Structure 1
Amino acid sequence: MTMDNNTRYNAGASVMEELFSEEVRTGMQEIKHISPDLWDMIVSFGFGDLYARKTLSLSQREIITLTSLITQGAFDQLRVHLQAALNVGLSKEEIIELIIHCTGYVGFPKAVQAMGIAGEIFKEN
């Protein structure tokens, strides 16, 4: 069953409220000023179509997201999703273990950088 775009957008916005602080959401909306179309895709598809699905929990989805971002070396987005992972119940220990596990697949440089970023996020919390 497909949702109309307003429903998708609203579902995505709701998930984003659960994942991200108001400060982070405001920062993310800078994209909206540059490209309203990309912003709509991020909210409607990224969070409405993907994150709002029911089979996996938000914490399970964040495990997948963190792993994917580390693999890509997408460290700016990793910072935001580390905070989201904590917001939806992942523990510091689980995140550390996830990063250690990624070392075997992504190599030490990406894992070490991810761990450094995680350490910064942990200090802020």
Structure 2
Amino acid sequence: MPDQEQNRAQQILGDAAPELVRLTDDVLCGPVWADQGLSQRDCGLVTVAALVTLYRPEQLDSHLRPALSNGLSKEELVAALTHLAFYAGWPSAMSAMTRLKAITEE
């Protein structure tokens, strides 16, 4: 069972890639997400859209949960994923929708 004190990057990569985890924590989760140009909510929506478009389903759980916590509703994410089906491809959107459904039914 993963240590609940560790963040998601630490849980996934642990000691295997400590520098990547450090950069994730110190840069990505620091100044990149703290930029005042976008709200945390909007950053979450942009990130989810990018992951769907690039077909990175293995990363979605780490971003769908925070997107929901940062103010996006399930209905907004469903609408965004449906919209993305036409631009990012049906399989990408279906995979993302499956992950969202699982997360919101936990």
Q: TM-score range by the shorter chain?
A: 0.7 to 0.9
1:1-125 matches, cutoff 5 A: 23=4, 25-30=6-11, 31-124=13-106
> 1:23 offset after TM fit, Å?
3.5
> How large is the RMSD of aligned CA atoms in angstroms?
1.8
- Contact map agreement 1:32 1:38 (CA 8 A) in 2: no
Normalising to structure 2: TM-score of the pair? 0.87
Q: Which structure's CA Rg is the greater one?
A: 1
Query: Which has the larger displacement, 96-105 or 30-39?
Result: 30-39
> Percent identity among equivalent residues?
30
> Once the 2 structures are TM-superposed, how far is the Cα of residue 26 of structure 1 from its aligned partner?
4.1
Count of aligned residue pairs for this structure pair: 103
Q: Confirm or deny: 8 A CA contact 1:24 1:80 kept in the other structure.
A: no
Query: 1:38 & 1:68 partners in 2: Cα distance?
Result: 20
- Residue in 2 that maps onto 1:16: none
**Runs of 4+ residues over 2 Å off in structure 1:** 22-28
